[in-house]
């Protein structure tokens, strides 16, 4: 059975840089607070009109496809991870298929928030290993800026997030290391615990509420019907924005991140000392530093770029992976671990022999 290798990788971030001081125009916050609590100095916001989650994903994909030495017509499956799709439905995968004039291939969206890219990679890995597909495009992309509460009310969430996209092309490989070991994705590990789903969530639009009773259904006029989907009350009560209990997420993240990284190493008979590079989902620099300390990793074993992009959710790992690779920090035969934790809660890791 072949392994899956990352044959090409690309990233795209919008030009528009938003510093912490820029955010002070909209809310009561400070550069000092944001840097001290999160490590973030600046993030990118997409252009309001002509940049979407899909267009950013497409730009990252073009680079990844070119670096893999193939064309969009060679791609035989798309997996697109995002929590900020262009449309409520259909997903972004089909929009990529259209934009890149690909064949009538399968396209799947993954809605797993911060762990979305690792979940997407794991899905693609199974298809490659089974022999079903030969060139899978995996994208993580987010346009958070369109839906953040940029007021003091929403500051605990909005200062964290930024826009951007990353993409990889997965291909089968039977290559081995000089020692005869496997290369490519060695294993992936996926977990969830829905007990606290609501503490990091965007509730609306959604079917969670008991919006109407069947008896009354026939009596509703058009305005009342529309109100059930998206009402003024939802706007006034900030129910159309993400909701997060930051400290509770933090506490869970610092337990589950190390756990899922160690799981990937143990399954492969390896230890933290063997890691060349850990690429944690860029949620908060303090979380990454805690994980680094807990695993006893040196600075050069962990890659962080949250300082420049904030938390780009499903895009954060492929953006960081791409930058690390472009900076020459990932070389052939290196052991690279991708790990994520976020809304759901869901968490995941992927161990790769480059």
Stretch of 65-73, 151-159, 179-187, 329-337 contacting ligand ACO, by CB under 6 A: 151-159
Q: Residue 87, by phi and psi: left (phi above 0), alpha (psi -120 to 50) or beta? A: beta
Stretch that binds ligand ACO, among 46-54, 188-196, 242-250, 260-268 (CB under 6 A): 242-250
Q: Which is nearer to ligand ACO, 167 or 283 (CB)?
A: 283
What are the φ and ψ backbone dihedral angles of 126, each rounded to 5 degrees? -65, -40
Residue 40 CB, nearest distance to ligand ACO (Å)?
9
Mutual angle of helices 285-295 and 31-38, in 10-degree steps: 30
Question: Of 33-41, 62-70, 127-135, 232-240, which part binds ligand ACO (CB under 6 A)?
Answer: 33-41
Between CA 77 and CA 238 the distance in angstroms is 38
Rounded CA separation 214/90 (Å): 28
Q: What are phi and psi of 191, to 5 degrees?
A: -140, 160
The residue range among 46-54, 176-184, 246-254, 297-305 that interacts with ligand ACO, by the rule CB under 6 A, is 246-254
What Cα–Cα distance (Å) separates residue 102 from each residue in 69, 162, 187, 294?
16, 29, 29, 45
The Cβ of residue 5 has, within 10 Å, a number of other Cβ atoms equal to: 22
Whether 82 contacts 53, CB under 8 Å: yes
The residue among 10 and 342 lying less far from ligand ACO, judged by its C-beta, is 342
Binding-site member from 37, 129, 182, 329 for ligand ACO (CB under 6 A): 37
Interacting residue with ligand ACO among 52, 141, 305, 343 (CB under 6 A): 343
Q: Does 313 bind ligand ACO (CB under 6 A)?
A: yes
Strand (E) or helix (H) holding 96: helix 92-99
Contacts of ligand ACO in 85-114 (CB under 6 A): 113-114
Contacting ligand ACO (CB under 6 A), which of 4, 38, 54, 145?
38
Please answer whether residues 344 and 112 qualify as being in contact, where contact means their C-beta atoms are separated by less than 8 angstroms: yes
End-to-end CA distance of the chain: 18
Q: Is 26 in the site for ligand ACO (CB under 6 A)?
A: no
Among 70, 136, 253, 285, binds ligand ACO (CB under 6 A): 253
CB of 78 to ligand ACO, least distance (A): 22
The contact set with ligand ACO (CB under 6 A) reads: 29, 33-34, 37-38, 113-114, 155-156, 159, 200, 246-247, 249-250, 253, 283-284, 287, 311, 313, 342-343
């Amino acid at each position: 059975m072949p392994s899956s290798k990352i044959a090409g990788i690309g990233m795209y971030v919008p030009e528009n840089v938003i510093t912490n001081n820029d955010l002070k125009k909209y809310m009561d916050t400070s550069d000092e607070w944001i840097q001290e609590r999160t490590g973030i100095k600046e993030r990118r916001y997409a252009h309001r009109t002509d940049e979407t989650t899909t267009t950013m994903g497409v730009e990252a994909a073009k680079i990844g496809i070119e670096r893999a030495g193939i064309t969009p017509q060679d791609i035989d499956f798309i997996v697109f991870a995002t929590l900020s799709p262009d449309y409520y439905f259909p997903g972004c995968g089909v929009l990529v298929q259209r934009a890149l004039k690909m064949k009538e291939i399968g396209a799947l969206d993954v809605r797993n928030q911060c762990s979305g890219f690792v979940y997407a990679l794991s899905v693609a890995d199974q298809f490659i290993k089974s022999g079903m597909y030969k060139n899978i495009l995996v994208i993580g992309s987010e346009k958070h800026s369109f839906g953040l509460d940029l007021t003091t009310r929403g500051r605990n969430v909005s200062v964290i997030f930024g826009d951007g996209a990353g993409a990889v092309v997965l291909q089968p490989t039977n290559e081995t290391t000089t020692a005869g070991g496997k290369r490519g994705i060695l294993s992936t590990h996926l977990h969830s615990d829905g007990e606290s789903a609501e503490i990091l969530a965007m509730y609306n639009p959604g079917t969670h509420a008991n919006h109407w009773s069947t008896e009354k259904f026939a009596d509703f006029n058009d305005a009342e019907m529309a109100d059930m989907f998206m009402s003024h009350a939802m706007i006034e009560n900030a129910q159309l924005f993400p909701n997060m209990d930051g400290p509770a997420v933090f506490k869970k993240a610092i337990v589950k991140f190390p756990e899922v990284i160690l799981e990937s190493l143990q399954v492969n008979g390896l230890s933290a000392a063997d890691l060349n590079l850990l690429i944690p989902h860029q949620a908060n620099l303090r979380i990454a530093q805690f994980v680094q300390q807990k695993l006893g990793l040196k600075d050069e074993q962990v890659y962080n770029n949250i300082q420049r992009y904030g938390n780009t959710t499903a895009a954060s790992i492929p953006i960081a992976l791409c930058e690390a690779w472009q900076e020459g920090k990932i070389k052939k035969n290196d052991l690279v671990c991708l790990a994520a934790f976020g809304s759901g809660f869901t968490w995941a890791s992927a161990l790769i022999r480059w």
